[in-house]
Amino acid sequence: MSRSEAFLSSAVQAASKIHTVQDNIVAVKIHPDSISVLQLDPAMDAAASSDGWRLDRIVTWSLGRNVGPAPLQEDFEYLVNQIRQVRIEANVTGLDAGISIPFSQFDTRILNLPFMLPEELEDESQLEGFWGENDPELNDLDGKIVRYQILSANENEDRTTVLFSSIPETTVKRYTDLLLEAGLMPVYIENEAFSLVNGIYTKLSFEDLQKPQLIVHLCPGHNVVIGFTKNSIEIFPISVSEFDDALLLELEELDDISGEFWDEVGIRVGEHINQAIAYLNEVKNFPTIKSFWLVSEHKNIGNVEILLRDRVGNLRLKKIELLEDIEVPPDQAKFVDYFNNSSVFTSALGLATQSINIAGYDDSQRYKKLLDINFLPNSGNIRTFRQFAAVNKLLIAAVCAVFVASTLMMGITNIPELVSSSSKVAAYEALQGEAQTEAIRYKGLTKKLDKLRDNEKKISDFTEPKGFTIFMSSLATMLPQDAELQKLNVKSDGTVTLEGLSLSSSAINTFAAELVKSGLATQAPITQQKTGGYYRFTINAMIRQKG
């Protein structure tokens, strides 16, 4: 962490007493036939004790129909309406939200690069063609959002192991638009495979943290096996047919699955899982282990467990009691009971541990997780802008405090005690005459001071900083409180482009007008577009230069 980042983090922590910071995000999970909203208590509370886990809210909303493996292409407006309703039902206090995108939409792979420091890799990754030089299949990354995380590095072996993942920008935009239209502010977009890993990792014992782990995730259209350790992760799809996917959905409604028909289904699905695990072991050299975690998106996991028991090689199926030691608000327990399967919340719980960490808390003060990869465009700017907003409020509060303290001190020291006796009254009248004389002298001095100020202003025209410096220093205080700046682009000709979101159209119009009225800009035309409960705005301002 740089000195500037450390300063901003410390300032935000100091400002937290007067500026509420949403440390945790609202995790939105789209199930095959329902939607869940899950929010953890602020992460700082988790560090206070080993049993500090507590759900701030959890609400599940039945869709009444299956939305399919690619819900946003066919059911966008329907899902917007449903998410908006479940958000209202959950009485979500924070607007910052995140959502996981199915792993099948990503290109995810492990790359073994020469040893380099994180700062060196960050610089190298910005160079055109860098990823293609290390993997020929990564030559064409135009129109894609690329993210990576260093899993391990060894200078002696000249090796840096990197988890690489990319996704088309258009896909991410569909999911961010989904949240915006539903009245939520997208701040975290995650690969669902990473959410699953974090959901399991965050609940592992210290002993299990050191061991390889295997996850079998069954979800219609997105079946996958994931193997991970602290220094590696491998993902491979399970080739379950559409026919068997449909049978697994039907399975959750049955009371009895005995018989030859369901035995054959279990054998087929188990064989596909075996093949995926064998690929990780034999091709990806993932360690062979004796058990796996079953994560199912089906409402009733009991029948799925029976179906797969003793049919995934010699591996032992480990049942996840995900919410066993997490406190659930009593009035929301009914939503957990909607599923006879707590594993269905695994990816949502993993996503809910993420945050944009405005206050810069270290890992000991946050929920533990293995992966932290955010696919939201310009995600780093959100944290910086939020920090500046918090610091700005801290400065305003400090100025107000100084003003109040000064006023009190002046009042205490200057209240005349001239009426306590007749002698003091006489002295007061004498002082009053002297004060009138001094007032006349003060008027004369004021006129001279005004002339000096006029001269000073003329000189300052030659000595003031350039208009850009004044513009930037004034921007944070002028931006409306219900608006958020997401992008700032400065050109050499003095043109500044500001892009962001606002809850109020009139506030942005007032802001643009104030830029011109204050003399900071000669013009500030606006373009706005309403998206759900927000207004996307772009202001192209021409900075007034001073010489």
Residue 471: which CATH number?
Answer: 3.30.1360.100
**Per-residue pLDDT at 9 exceeds 60:** no
Mean pLDDT of 1-9: 50
**Chain mean pLDDT for the chain:** 79
Whether the predicted pLDDT of 203 surpasses 90: no
Q: What is the pLDDT of residues 250-275, one digit of tens each?
A: 887 788 888 899 999 999 999 999 99
Lowest mean pLDDT, pick from 216-225, 289-298, 391-400, 513-522: 391-400
pLDDT of residue 23: 60
The average pLDDT across 508-535 equals 85
pLDDT of residue 449: 59
Residue that finishes a domain, picked among 458, 475, 508 = 458
Predicted local distance difference test score (pLDDT) of residue 233:
93
Q: Is residue 76 part of a domain?
A: no
What is the CA angle 472-473-479, rounded to 5?
75
Lowest mean pLDDT among 18-22, 25-29, 233-237, 514-518: 18-22
**Which of 63-72, 320-329, 360-369, 492-501 is predicted least confidently?**
360-369
Look at residue 205 in the predicted model and tell me its pLDDT.
Answer: 83
**Domain contains 474:** yes
Cα–Cα distances in Å, from 519 out to 485, 489, 537? Answer: 21, 20, 21
| 422-467 residue pLDDT tens | 555 555 566 666 666 666 665 765 665 566 566 544 434 433 445 6
Domain identity same for 451 and 509: no
Q: According to the model, what pLDDT value does residue 543 have?
A: 82
- Domain C-terminal end among 435, 458, 481: 458
**364: confidence class by pLDDT, cuts 50, 70, 90:** low
Which residues, in sequence order, are CB contacts of 506 under 8 Å at separation 6+? none
Tell me the DSSP string of 167-228.
EEHHHHHHHHHHHHHTT-EEEEEEEHHHHHHHHHHTT--HHHHTS-EEEEEE-TT--EEEEE
Q: Please give the residue that has the higher pLDDT: either 42 or 290.
A: 290
At residue 408, what are phi and psi to the nearest 5 degrees? -65, -45
> Do 482 and 517 belong together in one domain?
yes
pLDDT at 47: 46
Task: Specify if 78 maps to a domain.
Answer: no
Write the pLDDT tens digit of every residue in 321-331.
Answer: 777 767 777 77
Q: How far apart are CA 22 and CA 143, in angstroms?
A: 31
79 in a structural domain: no
Contact present, 196 and 215 (Cβ < 8 Å):
yes
Evaluate whether residue 3 is within a structural domain: no
Tell me the sheet residues that pair with 237.
224
536 and 472 in a single domain? The answer is yes
Rounded to an integer, the average pLDDT of 213-229 is: 92
In this structure, is residue 391 part of a structural domain?
Answer: no
> How many structural domains is the chain composed of?
2
Per-residue model confidence (pLDDT) at position 100: 93
Question: What pLDDT sits at residue 392?
Answer: 61
Query: What residue numbers bound the domain in which 434 lies?
Result: 418-458
What per-residue confidence (pLDDT) applies to 423? 57
For residue 418, the model assigns a pLDDT of: 36
pLDDT at 520: 82
With beta carbons less than 8 A apart as the criterion, state whether 339 and 304 touch: no
Q: Is-above-0.75 flag for pTM?
A: no
Check residue 53 and give its pLDDT: 62
Average pLDDT over residues 363-388: 73
454 and 512 in a single domain? The answer is no
Residue at 348 is within a domain: no
> What is the maximal distance between C-alpha atoms in the chain?
114
Q: Are residues 434 and 476 in the same domain?
A: no
Last residue of one domain, picked from the residues 434, 458, 482: 458
- pLDDT tops 90 at residue 523: no
pLDDT of residue 430: 63
Answer with the residue of higher pLDDT: 285 or 60: 285
Domain assignment of residue 424, yes or no: yes
Does position 542 have pLDDT exceeding 60, yes or no?
A: yes
At residue 143 the predicted structure's pLDDT band, cuts being 50, 70 and 90, is very high
| Burial (0-12, 13-18, 19+ Cβ within 10 Å), 161 | middle
Q: Per mean pLDDT, which of 27-36, 132-141, 521-530 is the most reliable?
A: 132-141
Q: Are residues 507 and 474 in the same domain?
A: yes
